[in-house]
């Protein structure tokens, strides 16, 4: 029988429901729920029949009294540093919500702390576990479109949020684009080298900060990655993971969260254009997906050894794309990453 794993969940707002569900499906023992708004922790405790003893409004007390093996950090981005540093110092492993941190300096400190303590610290990048995302990675790495040269993604969603996003300086780049940037690394295996970004807040936006952005990344392996996105675009919304076109030396693959498919060159070209044929990925979609799959992989690594694909030392490269884009926008010119 698997050894019991005790979990403390920090931050009991909107996302914590998905984490509690994942904890239940992995048979983890939730020994604590902590939130600076105690009523949020109490609500989750009631919903999941956990009793009042698990509820805390202060992290130190929760760590001391419940002695968890793992902390799930579902707090707002500004709190990730404090929660993770304290949890690692208390000898816990941490799986935290994206983005890893709200600055590169803080992110580096968190990665260093994980190395010093020898504890696992990974980040929730649930888009990596969309049903057909691994199939897309496999499709691209199979060489079906040849060598990748260009990645284009459009993300256009008119999201009428309430809460922290409406007040962020860069709600799109910091809160959402991290998913797409990370997924570009998942699909291509390439890492970022430089970025030019123009972020802006379009007319009619209901955000205080810059809710739209265009970014051009130079990636390793001579790949150019173009990202166009908006949180305040009404009509013709794209899928949450965006609408993807990946161009290679032998064809073009597309992905809209469904089955990956491509048009690839067939034989010699006649006249102006090549003859192409349509090919589809034959890979089966994941059965366990999203938050549950990411939690599952993390717990499996704890139980059996191994490194989660969203380990902080790798995930910080995706975060560096976010902060590189923000710096480029501020300077009005391309910056190295
Ligand atoms: N992976 C995804 O698909 C996805 C989707 C939405 C949000 N998120 C991320 O999840 C995180 C939480 O987002 P949300 O929508 O649940 O936000 P939310 O505001 O609904 O909930 C955050 C909770 O954290 C609590 N909190 C804040 N500081 C705290 C602290 N120091 N200690 C304890 N509790 C604290 C707040 O009181 C609140 O209850 C963010 O990092 C966000 O970017 C991820």
On the question of pLDDT at 63 being above 90, the answer is: yes
Q: Is 110 in the pocket of ligand 1 (CB under 6 A)?
A: no
Distance CA 27, CA 300 (A): 12
* Cα–ligand 1 centroid distance for 222 (angstroms): 37
The reported pLDDT for the residue numbered 225 is 98
All structural domains of the chain, each given as residue ranges with its CATH number in brackets, are 6-124 (3.40.50.720), 128-286+320-336 (3.30.360.10)
Count the helix, strand and coil residues of the chain and give each as a percent rounded to the nearest 5: 40, 25, 35
Distance CA 145, CA 181 (A): 21
The reported pLDDT for the residue numbered 112 is 98
* Cα–ligand 1 centroid distance for 328 (angstroms): 27
Closest residue by Cα to atom 40, ligand 1, is 76
Q: How confident is the model at residue 164 (pLDDT cuts 50, 70, 90)?
A: confident
On the question of pLDDT at 314 being above 70, the answer is: yes
Q: Is 44 in the pocket of ligand 1 (CB under 6 A)?
A: no
Q: How confident is the model at residue 157 (pLDDT cuts 50, 70, 90)?
A: very high
- Please say whether the beta carbons of 119 and 111 come within 8 A: no
Q: Is 73 in the pocket of ligand 1 (CB under 6 A)?
A: no
Tokens of 104: 């590169």
Mean pLDDT of 255-259: 97
* Cα–ligand 1 centroid distance for 15 (angstroms): 6
Mean pLDDT of 211-225: 98
In Å, how far are 21, 87, 103, 264 from 106, measured between CA atoms? 29, 15, 5, 44
**Does the CA dihedral 328-99-141-134 come out positive or negative?**
negative
On the question of pLDDT at 130 being above 80, the answer is: yes
Lowest-pLDDT range of 161-165, 273-277, 309-313, 324-328: 161-165
Q: Is 101 in the pocket of ligand 1 (CB under 6 A)?
A: no
On the question of pLDDT at 19 being above 70, the answer is: yes
Cis peptide before 99 (omega within 30 of 0): yes
The reported pLDDT for the residue numbered 166 is 82
Mean pLDDT of 244-248: 98
Q: How confident is the model at residue 3 (pLDDT cuts 50, 70, 90)?
A: confident
Nearest Cα residue to 34 out of 6, 50, 54: 54
* Cα–ligand 1 centroid distance for 155 (angstroms): 22
The pLDDT tens digits of the residues spanning 296-309 come to: 999 999 999 999 99
Q: Is 251 in the pocket of ligand 1 (CB under 6 A)?
A: no
The pLDDT tens digits of the residues spanning 68-96 come to: 999 999 999 999 999 999 999 999 999 99
Secondary structure of residue 7 in the 3-state scheme: strand
Mean pLDDT of 3-22: 96
On the question of pLDDT at 1 being above 70, the answer is: no
- Give the residue carrying structure tokens 């040269």: 149
Average pLDDT value for the chain: 96
The reported pLDDT for the residue numbered 163 is 80
* Cα–ligand 1 centroid distance for 163 (angstroms): 10
The pLDDT tens digits of the residues spanning 105-128 come to: 999 999 999 999 999 999 999 999
* Cα–ligand 1 centroid distance for 290 (angstroms): 17
Q: Which atom of ligand 1 is nearest to the CA of 75?
A: 24
The reported pLDDT for the residue numbered 46 is 96
Closest residue by Cα to atom 4, ligand 1, is 15
Q: Per-residue DSSP letters for 193-205?
A: EEEEEEEE--TT-
On the question of pLDDT at 142 being above 90, the answer is: yes
Percentage of the chain surpassing pLDDT 90? 93
Distance CA 259, CA 275 (A): 22
Q: What is the model's pTM?
A: 0.95
């Amino acid at each position: 029988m698997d050894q019991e794993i005790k979990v403390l969940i920090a931050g009991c707002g909107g996302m914590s429901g998905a984490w509690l569900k994942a904890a239940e499906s992995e048979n983890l023992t939730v020994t604590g729920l902590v939130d600076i708004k105690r009523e949020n922790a109490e609500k989750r405790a009631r919903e999941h029949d956990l009793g009042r003893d698990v509820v805390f409004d202060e992290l130190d007390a929760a760590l001391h009294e419940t002695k968890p093996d793992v902390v799930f950090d579902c707090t707002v981005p500004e709190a990730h540093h404090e929660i993770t540093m304290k949890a690692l110092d208390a000898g816990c492993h941490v799986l935290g919500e994206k983005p890893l941190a709200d600055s590169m300096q803080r992110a580096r400190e968190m990665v260093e702390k994980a190395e010093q303590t020898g504890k696992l610290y990974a980040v929730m990048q649930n888009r990596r576990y969309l049903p057909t995302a691994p199939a897309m990675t496999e499709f691209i790495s199979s060489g079906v479109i040849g060598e990748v040269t260009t990645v284009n993604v459009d993300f256009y969603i008119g999201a009428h949020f309430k809460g922290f996003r409406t007040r962020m300086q860069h709600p799109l780049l910091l809160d959402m684009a991290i998913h797409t940037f990370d997924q570009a690394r998942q699909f291509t295996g390439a890492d970022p080298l430089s970025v030019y970004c123009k972020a802006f807040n379009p007319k009619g936006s209901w955000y205080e900060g810059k809710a739209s952005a265009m970014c051009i990344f130079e990636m390793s392996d001579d790949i150019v990655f173009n990202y166009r996105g908006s949180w305040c675009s009404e009509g013709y919304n794209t899928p949450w993971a965006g609408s993807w076109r990946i161009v290679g030396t032998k064809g073009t693959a597309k992905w809209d969260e469904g089955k990956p498919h491509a048009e690839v060159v067939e034989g010699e070209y006649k006249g102006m254009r090549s003859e192409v044929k349509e090919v589809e990925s034959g890979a089966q979609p994941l059965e366990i997906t999203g938050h549950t799959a990411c939690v599952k992989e993390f717990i499996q690594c704890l139980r059996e050894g191994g490194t989660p694909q969203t380990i902080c030392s790798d995930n910080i490269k995706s975060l560096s794309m976010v902060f590189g884009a923000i710096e480029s926008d501020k300077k009005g010119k391309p910056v190295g990453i």
